[in-house]
Structure 1
Amino acid sequence: MTDDGTRESDTDMLPLDELTRSYRPIDLSHRIEERMPSYPTHSRFFRTLWESYWHGERAVAYQLLLNEHTGTHVDAPAHFMRDGHEQHRWIDEVDPTLLLGRGVVIHIADGDVDDGLYGIDVLERFEREHGAVRRGDVVLFDTGWHRKWALKPDSDAYLVGWPGPTEELALALVERGISAAGSDNIGFDKHGTEGFPAHYALLGNGILIMENLAALSELPPSFQFLGMPLNIVGGSGSPIRAVAFVER
């Protein structure tokens, strides 16, 4: 990561034609629909019919009312980094290639979690088994929480008790120079955390955070990752369509 928030990468980035020919896509995004889970302090998603040929108009169109952090989404650094901070960047100021390139997934087992936290040992274990996490990688944490995703009123299990990384682990990711991190939880820091240490460690160093990812348990250790945010002027984040491409 350079000082101006652009990518400095050691990762492999494949041509688009090779991706589509030699790799198959896995959608890592939850469907956006009414009654989907939302963070307790965030507004819910609503979809309203605006015009339709069912009512005499020429076409169908819906109006969407959604929070910037609806569903599978990415946090911009300015979500937490205030005015004057060197990483105070809104989503329209973020280099979109930060969410393009090699991805790795670290699968978290029940035994890895202590008091709701998983630590640097999961990263070190991954690197022993699969090689070093590289500069510019997108690092995802599969906690299994995506299996709890459900529409209201059945979403309570998804909205309480989710795990998150220790501050030590977040700082280790900063040292490795990754471009983005994400998990299958509604918040990257563990439920009920005080101070949001992982958010401040990562966003404070220009590393993007993705939340509410899906299907992470289907991924091999490494893959090609693509997740594009909307170009929202002054946006603190954006919904994304996150996709992993794995070898056929």
Structure 2
Amino acid sequence: MNNIVIDLTMPLYTGMRVFPGDPEVKLEIVHTHEANTWELRRLEMGSHTGTHVDAYSHMHEGGATLDEIPLHRFFGKARVVERHSDWPAETGLFFTDEAGMELADKIVSRKPGFVGGNITEELQRTLLGHSIVTYTDLINLERIPKEQNFMFYGLPLKIKNGDGSPVRAIAILEG
């Protein structure tokens, strides 16, 4: 049985769209094969650039930072869900339609380790306050069948005192 792997990550590139006021993205080649026999790029960007994860400290002073959140909180069983469906407990939730504060109590009651997709900033702040990791700027969620479990991986860089990090996010569906 072959599994299906879906990349949920937007590519990073110079000049890409960022949240207003965040640092611009700049990727610059500083070493080349021709001059150095290897290639190396300098990366300049904010910690919440492209597909990224938010630590609790992102919106809550004194909240846990990336290096303090246990690694197992960044992967696990997940679903793309409809707003009004019955969601399983302790399963990551992803929304393709906008999810706002009207869903906060329902989400928190299901105790997901992580939530992502099209969620409002206000909902994101509430979830982070309940120690629920949030993911932003995911792509290709529409390729995942709704209401079907899959394995999600969205591992951050281990940034000391990090408030967020770009991730390579993937979904693995049983084939």
- TM-score when normalising by structure 1: 0.66
Larger % of strand: which?
Answer: 2
Classify the secondary structure of the residue corresponding to 1:126: coil
Work out the CA distance in 2 between the residues paired with 1:134 and 1:22: 27
Which amino acid is 1:93 matched to? E
| One of 117, 133, 138 as aligned partner of 1:183 | 117
Moved over 2 A (4+): none
Residues 2-44 of structure 1 show CA distances to partners (whole Å, capped at 9, x for unaligned) of: xxxxxxxxxxxxxxxxxxx642100011111112211112112
Alignment of 1:241 with 2:168, yes or no, is: yes
Q: What residue is the counterpart of 2:95 in the other structure?
A: 141
Q: What residue is the counterpart of 1:167 in the other structure?
A: 101
Classify the secondary structure of the residue corresponding to 2:47: coil
Residues 206-233 of structure 1 show CA distances to partners (whole Å, capped at 9, x for unaligned) of: 0011000000110012211111111000
Q: What residue is the counterpart of 1:101 in the other structure?
A: 76
Deviation at 1:170, TM superposition (A): 1.8
In the TM superposition, what are the counterparts of 1:70-81 in structure 2 within 5 Å? 70-81=49-60
Whether the 8 Å CA contact 1:29–1:72 is kept in 2: the answer is yes
Classify the secondary structure of the residue corresponding to 1:224: strand
- Quote the RMSD (CA, aligned, Å): 1.5
Work out the CA distance in 2 between the residues paired with 1:92 and 1:81: 16
Residues 180-226 of structure 1 show CA distances to partners (whole Å, capped at 9, x for unaligned) of: 11015xxx31xxxxxx4312320001001100000011001221111
Q: What residue is the counterpart of 2:85 in the other structure?
A: 126
Classify the secondary structure of the residue corresponding to 1:242: strand
Which amino acid is 1:140 matched to? F
Whether the 8 Å CA contact 1:92–1:231 is kept in 2: the answer is yes
Deviation at 1:49, TM superposition (A): 1.4
Note the residue ranges of structure 1 that are not aligned, 5 or more in a row.
1-20, 108-121, 144-163, 190-195
Which amino acid is 1:134 matched to? A
In the TM superposition, what are the counterparts of 1:1-248 in structure 2 within 5 Å? 22-54=2-34, 56-83=35-62, 88-107=63-82, 122=83, 125-127=84-86, 132-135=87-90, 137-143=91-97, 164-184=98-118, 188-189=119-120, 196-220=121-145, 221-222=147-148, 223-248=150-175
Aligned pairs, number: 173
Q: Percent identity?
A: 27
Work out the CA distance in 2 between the residues paired with 1:126 and 1:69: 30
Note the residue ranges of structure 2 that are not aligned, 5 or more in a row.
none
Classify the secondary structure of the residue corresponding to 1:40: coil
Larger % of helix: which?
Answer: 1
Residues 116-160 of structure 1 show CA distances to partners (whole Å, capped at 9, x for unaligned) of: xxxxxx2xx322xxxx4212x1100113xxxxxxxxxxxxxxxxx
Whether the 8 Å CA contact 1:174–1:201 is kept in 2: the answer is no
Work out the CA distance in 2 between the residues paired with 1:224 and 1:44: 32
Report the structure number with the largest CA radius of gyration. Answer: 1
